[in-house]
Structures are given as C-alpha cells and as structure tokens.
Amino acid sequence: MSLINYSSREINCKVVYYGPGLCGKTTNLQHIYSRVPQETRGKMISLATEMDRTLFFDFLPLELGQIRGFRTRFHLYTVPGQVYYNASRKLILKGVDGIVFVADSQIDRFDANVESLMNMHDNLAEHGLSLDKVPIVIQYNKRDLPRVVSVPDLEKELNPQGAPFYEAVALRGTGVFDTLKLACKLVLKTLG
Amino acid sequence: MVKGNWALFEEDFWSINAILQTLMRSASARSVMLIDKTGQLINSIGEPPGFDVTSFSSLAAADFAANAQLALMVGETDFATLVHQGQNESLYLSMIANRVILVVLFDRKTSLGLVRLKSRRAGEELLDVLNRLFDKLQYRNEEIGTPALGADFAAEAESEIDSLFKD
C-alpha cells in the first residue's frame, strides 16, 4: 500500500514484477537500473543464489522527484519465480500497489505462465487483494525467440480480464520502459 | 485496522518524532528508524547512517516477514522482536501494531538490555499514536473518501514519468 507522509511530504509506492522462473523479471530491473539517470535511482539489491537465480527478491528504488511538493518514489520488487519459493513470493506481495506480470512467450513455458498467474491470484487473495483493486500490466517477453506463442493465444489464456499489455525483449530493453511507465501511471491513478 | 493506502499527518509525525528522539537519547542509541512493514521508511532520526536507508528499510521489512514465517513454522504466532548483534554495531527490531517496525541501531556504548527496555516503552507510546492515526484514516477512507492528492497531481506525475523513464 502506498504511504503518503504529509509531514515530510513523501509518497512511496510498491510495484512488484511477478512471473515464472527465468521469464526476465530481474532483467527488466537491470535494464531500468542501467538506463535511468543516477539521481533517479537508488541502490539495486539482489538477494540471489550463486547461480544468479533470485532467492528472495530484487529491489530497486526510483525517485520521480518533487510532484506538487511531494517527493514521489516507486519501489520496484521482483519475486523469485521458481515454484518452491512461494513463501517468499507471498511476502513480497504484501502492500503491493501495482503488478507487472512478465510472461515468457516461449511455447514450452506456456504452462509455467499459467501456473504462475494462478499462484499470483492465490497469493493476492491471501492478502485480501485482487486485480479489481490492484492495477496490473502484462508483459509478453522474449518475443525475439523462435517458437513463441502468438500474442492472441497468450492473451486468451493469460489476460481474460483485458489488462493492458506490451510485447517485450527485456534483454535488449524493448518494451521495458513502456511497461514500467504504464504500471506507475496506473498506480498513481489509484492514489488520486 | 486500516486497509489500503495510509497517510501520515503533520501532528502524528511530530508525536512519533518526539517518541523516537526520547528513545534514542534514553537508550544511548546511534539512530532510530520507523519503517512500514511493507518496507517503506517512515522516519529516521539520529546520526545520519552511512548506508542507504531506503534499501535498509526494504531489507529490514523482508527480514521481519521471513522471521514471522519461521515463527509460524515452529508454532509461534510471531517473533515480535529481532536482535542482530555484530562486533561493533547491533540492531534491535520490534513490530508495533502489526504495522510498523521500530529499528534501533546501537553500538558498544550501550547495552542490549537498556535498548530492549527503552524500546518496549517507546513501543507502547507509539502504539497509542498509531491507533489514533488508524482510527482517523479509517474514518477518512470510509466516511469521507476524499481524494488524497487531486487530479493535478496525477497529471503532473504522468509527465514526470514520461520524461524520466525512457530509453
């Protein structure tokens, strides 16, 4: 949940990148970190295994600067995608203001996307949340690879609620900022 | 308990600030922080820490959340306090009103016993302030439902987002 501090005039919002293992959540954050001006970003923290798989979360704070006298910050988190880290995923969703669901477009990862999405719904419900209350943007990643599912087929299975989506190649940065911008704007709309 | 967004108003902020100041002085701590349990810093007083407080806050909240799950596994409802003791610097963390985390950073000039005692007192005082604040927010959310920031804010924020986040 966003925290508005009227005394120090600060607003902090939490955006969580969700999705199956190796879909590119950390890659999204790494691209953002590498491209935003230094004064906009804080330190990126990755709690990862020796194999660079996310163990607990990645964290990247971004500062929009002063907006109408409020210092406005977004805290970006990723969840660990691997199935057996569900306890960690649940914890990170606590207090979420907006979600980016990163789907892996490859044919052989189709079921993993569906499973991760169902898991996200379950975990949101445990916090008393649902997509009626929390804005979501879907990112169909790895569009450059061979053997990918068509976007209409992905939409049919993963996005029946018609949430906004972008196609992306996170490794090259394609679609990364479009996704982030929309997620941030949707979150701010819920505050206003 | 308030659900959804929460806000901190001027008078509550200063009440909290006064409690934290007293705690820091009486426990001879180096600095004291109050962190929302989702990992957002509410207030930090004392020596300016030589580390990134935003990252610190997110890790402290994660630390607490992970330990709460460990508590459930061993049959406890929670671990209300955590202590991390280093050679020179130590941390004492306690959860208040199941909503915010009080963090005391202290060194060898004081003792864990004193920090614990003073933190417990400060925790009780903070609980009063927070309960009043949550009542106020509950009333505002349910009865008034006024927008917190206004449409101008969203419009200005959107243009800021467009100019900052681009390849």
Give the whole-angstrom CA distance, residue A2 versus residue A187.
Answer: 9
Asked whether B122 and B19 are in contact (CB, 8 A), the reply is yes
* Residue B146: band (very low, low, confident or very high) from pLDDT cuts 50, 70, 90: very low
Tokens 């917190």 identify what position? B148
Q: Which of B157, B107, B114 is nearest to A13 (CA)?
A: B157
Residues A80 and A82: their CA atoms lie apart, in Å, by: 6
Full set of structural domains in chain A with CATH: 3-191 (3.40.50.300)
- Contact between chains at A73 and B6 (C-beta distance less than 8 A): no
For the beta carbon of residue B77, count every other beta carbon within 10 angstroms: 8
Q: A-contacting residues of B 117-156, CB under 8 Å? A: 147-154, 156
- pLDDT score, position A181: 95
CB-CB under 8 Å, A7 with B9: yes
Rounded CA gap, B35 and B44, in Å?
A: 9
Q: Where are the domains of chain B?
A: 10-164
The whole-angstrom distance between B71's CA and the closest CA on chain A is 13
Residue in chain A closest to B52 (alpha carbons) equals: A43
Per-residue DSSP letters for A70-128?
EEEEEEEEE---SGGGHHHHHHHHTT-SEEEEEEE-BGGGHHHHHHHHHHHHHHHHHTT
Provide the residue-wise pLDDT of chain A in tens; the chain has 192 residues: 677 877 778 888 999 999 999 999 999 999 999 999 998 898 888 888 777 788 788 899 999 888 888 888 999 999 998 887 888 898 899 889 999 999 999 999 999 999 999 999 999 999 999 999 999 999 999 999 999 999 999 999 999 999 999 999 999 999 999 999 999 999 988 886
Residue A27 DSSP SS3: helix
Cα B69 from Cα B65, distance rounded (Å):
7
Give residue-wise pLDDT tens across range B7-31.
Answer: 788 888 899 999 999 999 999 999 9
Residues B40-66: pLDDT tens digits?
888 999 987 778 888 888 889 888 888
B117 against A85, higher pLDDT: B117
> In this structure, how many other beta carbons lie within 10 angstroms of the beta carbon of residue A121?
12
Contact assessment for residue B31 and residue B24, using Cβ atoms and an 8 Å cutoff: yes
Q: Which residues of B touch A41 (CB under 8 A)?
A: none
Q: Which residue of A has its CA nearest to B68?
A: A91
Relative to beta strand A70-78, strand B6-8 is unpaired
How many residues belong to chain B?
167
Q: Residue B156: what pLDDT?
A: 84
pTM (predicted TM-score): 0.82
Out of A57, A180, A192, whose CB is closest to B62?
Answer: A57
Arithmetic mean of pLDDT, B115-127: 96
Looking at beta carbons, which residues of chain A come within 8 Å of B72?
none
d(CA B37, CA B24): 21
Say whether B148 and A192 touch across the interface (CB within 8 A).
yes
Residue B3 has what pLDDT? 43
Q: Write the CB contacts of A103 (distance below 8 Å, at least 6 apart in sequence).
A: A19, A20, A23, A113, A117, A138, A139, A140, A141, A154, A158
Please report the pLDDT score of residue B59 as a whole number.
Answer: 87
pLDDT band at B148 (very low <50, low <70, confident <90, very high): low
Size of interface A-B (CB pairs under 8 A): 145
Asked if residue B71 has pLDDT above 80, the reply is yes
The ipTM estimated for the assembled molecules is 0.75
Could you tell me the sign of the dihedral formed by the alpha carbons of A77, A78, A80, A85, in that order? positive
What is the residue-averaged pLDDT of chain B? 86
Question: Using an 8 Å Cβ cutoff, are A71 and A10 in contact?
Answer: yes
Mean per-residue pLDDT for B133-161?
72
- The reply to whether residue B165 touches residue A59, judged by beta carbons under 8 angstroms, is no
For residue B156, the chain A residues in CB contact (below 8 A) are 67-68
Q: What is the pLDDT of residue B10?
A: 82
The owner of tokens 């909290």 is: B16
| CATH architecture observed for domain B10-164 | 2-Layer Sandwich (3.30)
Determine which of A81-95, B90-104, B129-143 has the lowest per-residue pLDDT on average: B129-143
